[in-house]
Amino acid sequence: MMDGEYIIHGDQLKVPISNESLGLALYNALLGSTEAPIFIDSVSGETVSNKALLKNSCLLAEALRNYGLGKNDIIGICSENSLYYCNPVLAALYCGVPLTTFSPYYTTGELLHVANLSQPSIIFCSLGSSAVVLNVKGQLKVTPKIIILDQKDDHNGCQSVENFIKENVPKNFDVNKFQPSPVNAKEDVAFVLYSSGTTGLPKGVMLTHYNYNASISIFGDIFQSKPLNTPGLAFMPLCHAYGLYLVAWKIIWGGLVVIMNKFSPEVYLRCLQDYKIEDLNIVPSIGNFLAKSDLVEKYDLSNIKQIFCGTAPLSKDIEQILIKRFKVNGVQQGYGMTETTAGAISPILNTNAIGSCGCVLPSLSARIVDVDTGKSLGPMQRGELWCRGSVIMKGYINNPEATKDAIDTDGWLHTGDIAYYDENHAIYVVDRLKEIMKCKGHQVAPAELEAILMNNAKISDVAVIGVPHERDGEVPFAFVVSVPNQTLTEEEVKDFLADQVAPYKQLRGGVKFVNQIPRNGSGKILHRVLRDQYIRETIKA
């Protein structure tokens, strides 16, 4: 539906949004379910049942309460994906204490930045990530207690979870009498997650219990006609919004979650085959792998019924290859960002337009705005995508200026993404506003050129940036990863693109062959890292 101001509104939500704690919803789901495995390790086959998860998370929650943590504290977790990861996640939610997640692959500098934003009182970490956590501990504004998740004994001055519970939970504690703490769902923060940092340092995104409840209700509404308890594959880092949401979804609606410690092509494909994954949730880098890798042919993936891609646009050509290879009706591309909890736009609502990320989800609104005039635009006109509704973040932690810049006084989130919509209100995301190049006065989207170059059979991965040019302002420059055992020259890459685009979009900045393209945890290309690399190398030259 659209009003006279060119504002697109989603349908009315049929499933009510809970005003209770997200922790209570997860607790009740585990409590009311029949005992069955809920997590399984993709390599070892070790499992954790829903009842074991409930018991362990309640014990840890009681320990956190008795330790003295409250709503003004923050609990952090820095770990690879594991069977233990969700214990502190659930425990924090039960206590009504905000939880923040750190990537186990952060450098010391990166962890120092984000941990000083959120200032956790406790950080749960794996043995593997403990070194970087201990390195920054003494430099933080708030010195946290460090607890090891995956060791029975204390390690290097860090207490184990088992010993922390023994120290803070009396022996006569009855798990069956435990109750999650009440919260103000619309005000109290459930998670502090970090923006992708594709255009700068990450910011801490505050998501409330209500934000999460709203997202669960929205997707519960649109998925109500299909089984929700099918197996899921957690290959994305659980510290990322996409991976964390998958686990919360499966706890509430049921279904086994296969936990991958890290991405391995063979393990990933074997899990898709052995656990008969029907709904394939991917990111563009995985989509490119599935479209081009010969490994795919070694596995029986006939069970896949639907492919859904999120976090960044997937090119139309890769989409078509996936449709043909997996014999599915289409590849559904949704749109969301950390600041919108999980998603704001979805193709599930009767949208099959190739390249579109779908229509606005129930109870939400969107508009396309001219970046110069601030006026809403009509169909087929490109501008910045703005979103509003119940899934929009509360703001950025300890950063009121950034919050003010992102969310205006009318509640519109300025996404920073360039998009347009067609006559059917299907929305197409073109690129990031800050990554658009100005070539001879023309706006050029790196994603457009990247999508074309990915159709070259000799190119495994690619990223395009704008580099300074004395006459034209900027010109495109490509970083290219070639397919193993293939010979590819700079001229071949340039000619391949030149045949398909206008002269001002051609790679007149040059081509550089690299071993890999830097991406963040959700698979988005880190263009800023490549721009910095280009500048450094130019200065050296």
Tens digit of each residue's pLDDT (9 = 90 or more) over 450-478: 988 999 999 999 999 999 887 777 899 99
pLDDT of 160 strictly over 70:
yes
Q: Is 383 in a helix, a strand, or coil?
A: strand
For β-strands 99-102 and 122-125, DSSP reports them as: unpaired
Residue pair 92/121 in contact (Cβ under 8 Å)? The answer is: no
Q: Is 505 in a helix, a strand, or coil?
A: helix
Give the residue-averaged pLDDT of 288-314: 89
Q: How far is CA 133 from CA 64, 103, 120, 357, in A?
A: 20, 11, 12, 38
Tokens encoding 372: 């110069």
pLDDT of 541 strictly over 70:
no
Q: What is the helix (H) or strand (E) element at residue 84, kind and residue range? A: none
Q: Within 10 Å of residue 57's Cβ, how many Cβ atoms?
A: 25
Band the pLDDT of 349: cuts 50, 70, 90: low
Q: What is the pLDDT of residues 114-145, one digit of tens each?
A: 999 999 999 999 999 999 999 999 999 999 99
pLDDT of 200 strictly over 60:
no
Q: Long-range contacts for 263-266 (Cβ within 8 Å, ≥24 apart)? A: 263/235, 265/289, 265/293, 265/295, 266/295
Give the residue-averaged pLDDT of 32-57: 96
Give the pLDDT score at 277: 94
Dihedral angle, C-alpha 517, 520, 524, 525, nearest 10 °: -30
Q: What is the pLDDT of residues 350-368, one digit of tens each?
A: 556 777 888 999 999 999 9
Instruction: Please name which of 343, 349, 333, 335 lies closest in space to residue 391, comparing C-alpha atoms.
Output: 343
Give the pLDDT score at 101: 97
The CA distance from 541 to 538, in Å, is 5
Share of the chain above pLDDT 90, in %: 67
Band the pLDDT of 315: cuts 50, 70, 90: confident
CATH code reported for the domain at 8-12+256-429: 3.40.50.12780
Backbone angles phi, psi at 395, to 5 degrees: 155, -175
Q: What is the pLDDT of residues 372-400, one digit of tens each?
A: 888 999 999 999 999 999 999 999 999 99
Which are the contacts of 415, defined by CB distance < 8 A and separation ≥ 6? 337, 339, 384, 385, 386, 387
Residue pair 452/422 in contact (Cβ under 8 Å)? The answer is: no
Full DSSP string of 86-130: HHHHHHHHHHT--EEEE-TT--HHHHHHHHHHH--SEEEE-TTTH
CATH architecture, domain defined by 442-539: 2-Layer Sandwich (3.30)
Which are the contacts of 239, defined by CB distance < 8 A and separation ≥ 6? 77, 78, 79, 101, 102, 103, 104, 521
Give the residue-averaged pLDDT of 334-359: 81
Q: Is 405 in a helix, a strand, or coil?
A: helix
The highest-level CATH class for domain 22-184 is alpha beta
Domain ranges of the chain: 8-12+256-429, 22-184, 442-539
Which are the contacts of 96, defined by CB distance < 8 A and separation ≥ 6? 21, 23, 70, 71, 180, 181, 182, 183, 188
pLDDT of 1 strictly over 60:
no
Instruction: Please name which of 146, 147, 148 lies closest in space to residue 136, comparing C-alpha atoms.
Output: 146
Do the domains 8-12+256-429 and 22-184 sit in the same CATH topology, yes or no? yes
Give the pLDDT score at 332: 85
Give the residue-averaged pLDDT of 91-108: 94
pLDDT of 522 strictly over 90:
no
Q: Is 400 in a helix, a strand, or coil?
A: helix
